[in-house]
Amino acid sequence: MHSVCALLGPRQVGKTTLAQIFVKENRNNIARFFDLERALDLARLENPMLALSGEPEKLIVIDEVQMRPDLFPIIRVLVDDPSRKRNLLILGSASRDLIRQSSETLAGRIGFVELPPFSLGETDNLSKLWERGGFPRSYLTPRDADSFLWRQDYMTTFLERDIPNLGFHIPPQQLRRFWLMLAHYHGQIFNASEIARSLGVSSHTTRKYLDILAGTFMIRELSPWFENLQKRQVRSPKIYFRDSGILHALLNIKDKAELDTYPKLGAFWEGFALEEIIKAYDLRAEECFFWATHADAELDLFIFKNGKRLGFEFKYTDVPKVTKSMRIALADLKLDHLTVVYPGKETFPLTENITAQGLEDIVKSK
């Protein structure tokens, strides 16, 4: 068991609320909270060793820990003290890759838990979740207009405050332009050179921007899978917006009626359903892949689960059909099964090893 647990996820997803519930239900309020967005708590941590060295029986909770990466070496000293056992819960709005000090300094002492926005299994309303996304305040607000406004404000705060607080000095409008360009690449191969030319920056800069958005849980980089085949295979990552509501707000799609008429509706469904499958199967980022060849054979999602090789295709259609690409993927990747995920409710076989299954049915079965 780790002495330090890191609860990571995007801002406003409910990490602080969950931590408070955990303390109340499991530790009888015996905890010390430090919120690094509060001036008073920052002042208390001017001498961090003294502030964090209190009674060892208390759980120490540090919120928004990414704002003080210098605390990680001190945390290591505290948890390594054999005479006083301590447990810490740290909350962060950046991934373990972006907060590199944690994985390096606390190696072997820290466990990571990611808290994503609401899933379909938690909400049971596919249409609303797809339109608004899973951030609690966006999903739960009574009116579509209020949800859209919240997401617009969220993006502004993210660019103008959250990114600088992580130590990145990028003009907000520049990063917004890049973010908007990624919206048009949603579900496609990331082409750093093409985007760099459009922005008038280097490929290295666009790579840095992508790392920042991926590290703050806004963008998913889906890695390519390679088989030992006599075929040219795609080796660049695909990119997806992790929250459909943020994608829609960035493109100024205000409600379901506008979403239904958007030209890239199929790609939007692919990204939304892919995230729900990843949540339903409880997959880590390093366990998810896509596969594609330069001869146009591809598979949207490829995973290993319980010793089986599973494939998923996402189709926004009422009547899923088997394609040549599916048969190639089934054979070349030696899949145990391929599931075509569509927005309907029925489940039926397409071939012996290919099944059409509604997203809601998949989520409920997990």
Q: Look up the domain containing 342 and give its range.
A: 120-365
| pLDDT tens sequence across 248-283 | 999 999 999 999 999 999 999 999 999 999 999 999
pLDDT band at 221 (very low <50, low <70, confident <90, very high): very high
58 and 128 fall within a common domain: no
Judged against a pLDDT cut of 90, whether residue 352 lies above it is answered with yes
pLDDT at 57: 67
The structure tokens listed for 91 are 């909350």
230 and 88 fall within a common domain: no
| pLDDT tens sequence across 21-60 | 888 887 666 788 999 989 999 998 989 888 888 766 678 9
Q: At what angle do helices 172-184 and 192-199 cross, to 10 degrees?
A: 140
79 and 12 fall within a common domain: yes
Last residue of a domain, one of 96, 114, 132: 114
Exposure of 276 in the CB half-sphere (CA atoms within 13 A):
32
Last residue of a domain, one of 68, 92, 114: 114
The CATH number that applies at residue 58 is 3.40.50.300
68 and 195 fall within a common domain: no
Q: How many domains would you assign to the chain?
A: 2
Tracing tokens 């404000």 back to the chain, one arrives at 153
71 and 190 fall within a common domain: no
Phi, psi values for residue 124, rounded to 5° = 60, 35
Q: At what angle do helices 192-199 and 203-215 cross, to 10 degrees?
A: 110
Q: What is the pTM of this model?
A: 0.93
Beta bridge partners of 114: 8
82 and 129 fall within a common domain: no
pLDDT band at 69 (very low <50, low <70, confident <90, very high): confident
